[in-house]
Chain A
Amino acid sequence: MTEDLLRPVMRTEKIYYLLGALVLVLFSLYIYTFYLQLARGHGFVTGQSTPVGAVWGIYAAIIVFFIGISHVGIGVSAATRLLNLDYLKPLARIAELLTLFCLPGAVLVIALDIGTPERFILNVMRYGRITAPFVWSATVISVYLFASIIYLYLSMRRDLSLAADLVPRWGRLYKLLALGYTDTHEERELHERTLWWLALVLIPIMVSVHSVYGFVFGLHGGRPGWFNPFMAPFFVLGAIINGFATLIVVVTIIRKVYKWEQFLSLQAIRNLGRFLCWMTLIYIYFSVSEYITYAYTPLAGEAYVIQTVLVGEFSIIFWPAMAALIIGFLILFLNQTVFSGQFNIWITVAGATLINIVLFVTRYLIVIPSQLRPLLPFPSGTYTPTLYEWGAFLGVTGFVFGAYIVFLKIFPVIEFPLIDEVEAKK
């Protein structure tokens, strides 16, 4: 059984190197954009401009997107622990890795968005001002990241110590990282207890991370279409959907590639899909109530923004996105209920992918239209993402993907089942 779980660590197929090369190519796109931007400026690389045009471009949407995905990872794992959802346990680490890789991914894009990346972290730490949403976000993101790393590490110690003797290539690394862990009963208990408390603390941090991102947009009284108390919960919900949809895709792919059907049960993925389905429904409800409020008797500025979204320049992406959101929901819903007998995991994956794309588009629709309308009678600006900006997106996606495949090659990604559990199953 453990041999099965250690298969990716023991053997490396040729395709792995191909994928690695692809990842490097993708990531070099990010590096190239970053370099150009540092040397020639944002104006050369991006489609952004001020005061007419978008001050934050698609980078902001990408940041929110990746933070959203990262949101769910530790969340799922923590909930698994707190609510004793044992069937989710095997995919807990795959979920945690989403947090671990997407948060740095988002930080990479933040570094790209910032005008002077060489001093961004240093200055925020030295002069940080507590009234600023970005300081809140820097605080919660770093707390979340470090807490997640500790959480992941503690939950991995047992596997590392067990695998140390089985994997000749990485055995010494495992032994070093396991820090003398021996799989005794007390030690296991101690870890469980620590992790339980950590999980309890992580859940509110997780909610705060994305609420703060809602605040980054929702706190500006002078921005029609953003100034809205709904922003924080809306962002949290969006993040949950984003994360679950990505998790379903990632887990299914790993399950298929490594033939881990016995560990990552169909039922577990199905439950994730069910949760995603209901959350999507709530998201649709939130969207409808938001757009009705904006469209009914809006103030002049809001009227302008909502007009561009519903019938103006953004309508060509707005309406298809809304339609796709409903279709995505229906795909998940029908797959779970009416056609439950013929449940097909790939249909769920298709629905999740569709919802993820829609979520990216809605982020774009949150970020861009409001910025194109200054409050004073400037001419209305336009914004089109440049190829460089898309390249950076691909680059960061490559980074996350690459981090996954590297991790899969070095560490065991599914928790080893306890011996007594295995025997009980037999």
Chain B
Amino acid sequence: MKRIGRREFIKITGRSLTLLLLGKSTMLPIPPPDAKASILGKDKKEIADGLDTVADSRNQFAMVKDVGACIGCRRCMWGCKKENNTPDVVSPPWIEVFELPIGTSVTTHPPLRDLRKGATTSYTESPKEGKWYLPVQCNHCDNPPCVKVCPTGATYKDKDGLVLMNYDKCIGCRICIVACPYSARRFNWLEFKLPSEEVNPLVPVRYLGVVEKCTFCVHRVREGKLPRCVEVCPVRARHFGNLKDPKGEIPKLLKANMSFRLLEDTNTYPNIWYITRGKKWVKE
């Protein structure tokens, strides 16, 4: 057998590769963009949050929740579930409401002793005396840990401050769930079927194996409407608006009230503030 030297080997390989590439480019028709997309399995419409909307960088959406007024009725939770096509198997839905004994702190992880006093999410009656109610959802943080760790950019921070999902990029690795200090993210653990008459056509229906979470009702707020949870709140404990608008409701509320945010030591700069303006507990 003839020995082939290293140089010769490289030369031959190079030549054959060039030939192969040339041959390929001349012989095979280059597929049009659509055909390319269908090869990648993308012939269907993309499934993502806020598809037909445009983010405006003059907005920074924020929410103020008045825990002094909240009666823990969970209407926000169910309103959200219906609005956003959340199936029963995603449980709890995007909003979770806690019933907490008075004195339980949520600006950091509550100490064990406070937890044992009876913090719960599974209460059946509300409001109860001596308890307060804390609705929690995605905080659309300014420094979102979930976005940083996402390997595919499936979750991203948009120009108007919303943290959104592109479900078709999501590989379901769930590291965002691990990174989120607020446990605001949900995973599609099980198959489900939504009855088609109940589906809100403005919101994409997610599928098995991807992560989802509150979008601040991106399909509504970018059209100038309020998120569903704000709309359904019977005691006006929820306020929504643009943080960058100095005359807006949110900056005014924050100016007039003492506020706190959840788990502030995690350095996430949440866009949901909590105030205690409502006085439902004060008995004259």
CB contact between A222 and one of B100, B115, B145 (< 8 Å): that residue: B145
With an 8 A cutoff between CB atoms, is A300 at the interface? yes
Minimum CB distance partner of A182 in chain B:
B3
B209 CB contacts on chain A under 8 angstroms: 41-42, 114-116
With an 8 A cutoff between CB atoms, is A341 at the interface? no
Q: Which of A47-55, A144-152, A195-203 lines the interface with chain B?
A: A47-55
Indicate whether A375 sits within 8 Å of B174 (C-beta atoms), given known contacts A132-B148, A221-B267, A224-B109. Answer: no
B170 CB contacts on chain A under 8 angstroms: 115-116
Nearest Cβ on chain A to B25's Cβ, whole angstroms: 22
A39 CB contacts on chain B under 8 angstroms: 191
Structural contact, B109 and A299, CB atoms closer than 8 A:
yes
Nearest Cβ on chain A to B40's Cβ, whole angstroms: 8
B200 CB contacts on chain A under 8 angstroms: none
Structural contact, A129 and B151, CB atoms closer than 8 A:
yes
The tally of residues in A whose CB lies under 8 Å from a CB in B reads 54
Distance A308 CA – B267 CA, assembled complex (angstroms): 26
Interface of B, secondary structure class, is loop
Indicate whether A377 sits within 8 Å of B115 (C-beta atoms), given known contacts A55-B187, A123-B171, A222-B266. Answer: yes
Nearest Cβ on chain A to B262's Cβ, whole angstroms: 7
A135 CB contacts on chain B under 8 angstroms: 151
CB contact between B173 and one of A113, A122, A222, A300 (< 8 Å): that residue: A113
Q: Scoring B residues 221 to 243 as 1 if CB is less than 8 Å from chain A, else 0, what string do you get?
A: 00000000000000000000000
Nearest Cβ on chain A to B200's Cβ, whole angstroms: 23
With an 8 A cutoff between CB atoms, is A127 at the interface? yes
CB contact between B149 and one of A115, A131, A299 (< 8 Å): that residue: A131
Q: Which of B30-38, B78-86, B178-186 lines the interface with chain A?
A: B178-186
Minimum CB distance partner of A226 in chain B:
B178
Nearest Cβ on chain B to A410's Cβ, whole angstroms: 23
Structural contact, A307 and B112, CB atoms closer than 8 A:
yes
B59 CB contacts on chain A under 8 angstroms: none
Per the 8 Å Cβ criterion, residues 302-355 of A in contact with B are 303-304, 307
Structural contact, B145 and A114, CB atoms closer than 8 A:
no
A377 CB contacts on chain B under 8 angstroms: 98, 100, 104, 106, 110, 114-115, 119
Distance A376 CA – B115 CA, assembled complex (angstroms): 10
Indicate whether A304 sits within 8 Å of B112 (C-beta atoms), given known contacts A220-B179, A379-B122. Answer: yes
With an 8 A cutoff between CB atoms, is B126 at the interface? no
Structural contact, B172 and A127, CB atoms closer than 8 A:
no
A259 CB contacts on chain B under 8 angstroms: none
Nearest Cβ on chain B to A193's Cβ, whole angstroms: 13
Distance A390 CA – B242 CA, assembled complex (angstroms): 50
Structural contact, B189 and A42, CB atoms closer than 8 A:
yes
A379 CB contacts on chain B under 8 angstroms: 119-122
Per the 8 Å Cβ criterion, residues 94-117 of B in contact with A are 96, 98, 100, 104, 106, 108-112, 114-115
Distance A8 CA – B106 CA, assembled complex (angstroms): 65
With an 8 A cutoff between CB atoms, is B272 at the interface? no
Indicate whether A132 sits within 8 Å of B149 (C-beta atoms), given known contacts A42-B189, A43-B190, A221-B267. Answer: yes
A131 CB contacts on chain B under 8 angstroms: 148-149
Structural contact, B187 and A115, CB atoms closer than 8 A:
yes
Minimum CB distance partner of B119 in chain A:
A377
With an 8 A cutoff between CB atoms, is B89 at the interface? yes
CB contact between A132 and one of B110, B121, B150 (< 8 Å): that residue: B150
Minimum CB distance partner of B40 in chain A:
A122
Minimum CB distance partner of B91 in chain A:
A49
B211 CB contacts on chain A under 8 angstroms: 115
The 8 closest A-B pairs by CB, nearest first: A115-B172, A43-B189, A222-B181, A115-B209, A51-B183, A377-B119, A301-B109, A134-B151
Q: Which B residues have a C-beta under 8 Å from some C-beta of A?
A: 1, 3-4, 40-41, 89, 92, 96, 98, 100, 104, 106, 108-112, 114-115, 119-122, 136, 145, 148-154, 169-175, 177-191, 208-211, 262-263, 266-268
13 A-B contacts (beta carbon < 8 Å):
A115-B171, A115-B187, A116-B171, A120-B173, A123-B154, A128-B152, A131-B149, A132-B150, A133-B175, A180-B1, A304-B115, A375-B109, A379-B120
Taking A221-B145, A300-B109, A301-B109 as given, write out 10 further A-B residue pairs in contact, using a Cβ cutoff of 8 Å, ordered by the A residue number: A51-B184, A52-B183, A114-B209, A132-B151, A180-B4, A374-B183, A375-B109, A375-B266, A376-B262, A377-B119
